[in-house]
DNA sequence: CCGGAGGCAATTGCATGCACTTTTTGCCTT
DNA sequence: AAGGCAAAAAGTGCATGCAATTGCCTCCGG
C-alpha cells in the first residue's frame, strides 16, 4: 500500500526508518525472528526512539514485523504454511496481472515489454545473474502496471516484497535463468497475441515453479536466527 | 494484514486507537477527505498525541488515511478510478476465494455455509436489512476462510474494509436483498457441487453488481468534504 | 481592488522522561 | 546441584515539551 508515497524521497524521519528497516528485512539482512530493539535501532540510525517506534508500528501493519505488546518486536516469522499461502496468492495475483495485461496493455507497453524481454535473453547467455535479477524485477513490474489497476498493483507489490526474503535463494539453482526466461517468453507471447487466459496460466505456472524452488531453501535456512543489529 | 492481532482484545492504547479511528472510517462516520487532527483526536479519546500519531501512521500504512508530511492526516480520499480498481480487485479476490472454497472446504464448512445461507432467506422475506447485512458479512467471511489460504484471506479482508465506506449505500436500493440472496445462492450451489469455475464466476459477478450499485452513490455523495488532494 | 511579503497562531515532528512490564541475575533453600 | 524466588536491569508504552514547519491573517504597495 501507500504506493505513491514510496516513490517520494520523503524527508520525514519515520519514513526513512520504515524504508531503512523495511529494506533490511526485505533484502534478508535482517532475518525472520530477529529481535528489533528500539533503543539499538535508534542508536544505530542516530534518532530518538519515537520515530523508530512509529516505523515498527507501520512495518507491523504491513506484516513485515511482528509486535508483541510489552515484549518487543521481531522480524515477522512466517510458518511454512503461511509461506505457501503467500506463494499461492502471488501466483494468483500474477495471473490476474498477466490476464489484465493481455487485455489492456497499450501498444507502447506491449512494445516495451517485448523489447526488454528480448534484450534480457542476452543476460541469460552470459549467465549474468545479478543483471538478470534486475530485469526480472522490471519485467514483473511491467506486468503489474500493465494490468491498469492500481489496487491489484499495490497488493501484488506488497505480497512480492513480503516474499522477497525467500526468493533470493532460488537463483543459486543451476539452469534457473534459462528456465525463467522461457517462462517469461510464454507470458510475453500470450500477452502479445492478447490471449488473456494463456497469459494468466503462464504467469501462474511461473510463480508456482519459483515457489517450489524457494520452498527447498525455506525449509532449513530458518534455524540460525540470533544476530545483532549492526 | 496482522490477521492474528486483530482478534486480540489488545490492551495497548495504540491498537485501541487504530481500531477506534479505523472503525469510524470504515463505518463511514469519518468521511473521506475529513481532517484528522492529532490534538483533537487525542482529546476526544483522552490519551496523549503519541498513540494517536502511531495509530495514524499505521492506518496510513493500511491505506485508510493519507498523510502529508507536516500537513496533517485526512481520511483517505479515493478517486473514482481507484475506487473502480478496488472493486475490480475485490471481484477477483472473491472469485479466488470462491474457487478455492469449492475445492477445499471441509464437509463441516460446506454444511455451515449452506445452513446459514438458507437461514438468511428468512431475513430477505422479512426485509430485515440490518440483520441481512450481518449475515452477508458472515457469508463472505466464510468464503474467505474456506479458501484455506491465510494470505488471500488477509488481502481480501483488507480490501473489503477499504471498500466498506462505499458499500453501505447500496442497501437502500429496492429489491437488493433478494438479488443478493440469489447471487449468494449461485455461489453456494457451485461450491456444494465442487464446481470451482462456476463458483469463481458467480462470486466475481456478485461483486461486480455490488460495484455498479455503489458507484452510483460514490459519484455524488462525496463532494462536500474538502478535496484538496492532488 | 488585487497580489505579495511578513509575522503570528496552530499544528506537526521528534526528543526526552517516567511509569510499568518483562526478563535476567544472583542468592537462598531444599 | 537444581529449583525457585526476589531484586535489579533492561526494555516497552505513553505523556509531555520544544523546535520547526505550515497556513493564515494582516498590511502594504501597485
Inter-chain CB pairs, A–B, below 8 Å: 83
Whole-number mean pLDDT of chain B?
A: 88
Q: Minimal Cα distance from A76: which residue of B?
A: B2
Task: Tell me which residue in A89, A150, A152 faces B151 most closely, judged by beta carbons.
Answer: A89
Residues in contact with B24: Cβ distance below 8 Å, sequence separation at least 6, in sequence order: B30
Query: What is the nearest CA distance from A124 to chain B, expressed in angstroms?
Result: 33
Q: How confident is the model at residue A214 (pLDDT cuts 50, 70, 90)?
A: low
Residue B75 clears pLDDT 80, i.e. is over it: yes
At how many degrees (to 10) do helices B107-126 and B129-146 cross?
160
Residues with CB under 7 A from strand C: A 12-14, 47-51, 54, 70-71; B 36-39, 49-50, 53, 67, 69-73
* Averaged confidence pLDDT in chain A: 88
Q: Which three cell numbers stand for residue A143?
A: 506486468
Q: How far apart are CA B142 and CA B156, in angstroms?
A: 12
Chain A residues closer than 8 Å to B12 by CB? 69
Q: Where are the beta strands (DSSP E) in chain A?
A: 35-36, 65-67, 73-75
pLDDT for B181 beyond 90:
yes
Which residue from A213, A210, A188 is spatially nearest to A199, judged by alpha carbons?
A: A188
Q: φ, ψ for residue A98 (rounded to 5)?
A: -65, -40
Q: Grid coordinates in use for B230?
A: 492532488
Is B9's pLDDT higher than 60?
no
CA dist B60 and B44 (Å) reads 20
Q: Are A77 and A66 in contact (CB under 8 A)?
A: yes
For A151, the closest of B12, B54, B82 (CB atoms) is B82
Q: Is residue B146's pLDDT more than 50?
A: yes
Query: Is A1 close to B62, i.e. CB distance below 8 A?
Result: yes
Q: pLDDT value at position A225?
A: 36
pLDDT in tens, B17-72: 999 999 999 999 999 999 999 999 999 999 999 999 999 999 999 999 999 999 99
∠ CA A53-A58-A60, nearest 5°, is: 95
* Mutant choice from A50, A53, A54, A61 vs B, greatest count of B C-beta within 10 A: A61
The integer distance in angstroms from the CA atom of B34 to the C1' atom of C7 is 29
Chain B interface residues (partner A, CB cutoff 8 A): 1-2, 5, 10-12, 14, 50, 53-54, 57-63, 67, 69, 81-82, 85-86, 88-89, 92, 96, 149-152, 154-155, 159
- A148 confidence band (pLDDT: 50, 70, 90): very high
How far apart are alpha carbons B218 and B162 in whole angstroms? 14
Q: What share of chain B is helix, strand, coil (3-state, %, to 5)?
A: 75, 5, 25
Percentage of chain B with pLDDT > 70? 86
Residue B127 has pLDDT above 90, yes or no: no
When pLDDT is averaged across residues A123-148 and rounded to a whole number, the result is 94
The stretch B146-153 carries a mean pLDDT of 98
| Mean pLDDT, residues B189-206 | 97
pLDDT of residue B166: 84
- Give the pLDDT score at B165: 84
Name the nucleotide with the smallest C1'–CA separation from A50.
C14
Comparing A147 with A8, the larger pLDDT belongs to A147
Write out the three cell numbers for B206.
456478485
pLDDT band at A129 (very low <50, low <70, confident <90, very high): confident
In angstroms, how far is the first alpha carbon of chain A from the final one?
A: 29
- Give the rounded distance of the alpha carbon of A121 from its chain centre: 22
Buried (b) or exposed (e) across B57-92, using 16+ Cβ within 10 A?
bbbbbbbbbbbeeeeebbbbbbeeebbbbbbbbbbb
Mind giving me the DSSP string for B147-176?
T--HHHHHHHHHHHHHHHHHHGGGGGSTTH
Sort residue B33 into left (φ over 0), alpha (ψ -120 to 50) or beta.
left
First CA to last CA distance, chain B: 28
Mean pLDDT of B192-217: 87
Residue in B11, B85, B149 nearest the CB of A151: B85
Amino acid at each position: 500500500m501507500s504506493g505513491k508515497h514510496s516513490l517520494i524521497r520523503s524527508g520525514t524521519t519515520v519514513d526513512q526508518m520504515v524504508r531503512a528497516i523495511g529494506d533490511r528485512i526485505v533484502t534478508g539482512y535482517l532475518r525472520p525472528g530477529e529481535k528489533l530493539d528500539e533503543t539499538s535501532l535508534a542508536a544505530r540510525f542516530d534518532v530518538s526512539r519515537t520515530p523508530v517506534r512509529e516505523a515498527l508500528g507501520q512495518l507491523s501493519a504491513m506484516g513485515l514485523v511482528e509486535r508483541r505488546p510489552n515484549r518487543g518486536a521481531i522480524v515477522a516469522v512466517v510458518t511454512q504454511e503461511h509461506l505457501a499461502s503467500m506463494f499461492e496468492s502471488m501466483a494468483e495475483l500474477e495471473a490476474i496481472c498477466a490476464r489484465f495485461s493481455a487485455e489492456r496493455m497499450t501498444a507502447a507497453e506491449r512494445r516495451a515489454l517485448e523489447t526488454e524481454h528480448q534484450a534480457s535473453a542476452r543476460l541469460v547467455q552470459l549467465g549474468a545473474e545479478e543483471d538478470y535479477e534486475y530485469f526480472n524485477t522490471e519485467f514483473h513490474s511491467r506486468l503489474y502496471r500493465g494490468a491498469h489497476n492500481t489496487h491489484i498493483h499495490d497488493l501484488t507489490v506488497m505480497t512480492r516484497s513480503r516474499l522477497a526474503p525467500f526468493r533470493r535463494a532460488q537463483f543459486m539453482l543451476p539452469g534457473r535463468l534459462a528456465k525463467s526466461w522461457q517462462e517469461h517468453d510464454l507470458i510475453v507471447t500470450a500477452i502479445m497475441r492478447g490471449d488473456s487466459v494463456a497469459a494468466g496460466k503462464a504467469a501462474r505456472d511461473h510463480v508456482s515453479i519459483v515457489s517450489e524452488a524457494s520452498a527447498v531453501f525455506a525449509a532449513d535456512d530458518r534455524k540460525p536466527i540470533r544476530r545483532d543489529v549492526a
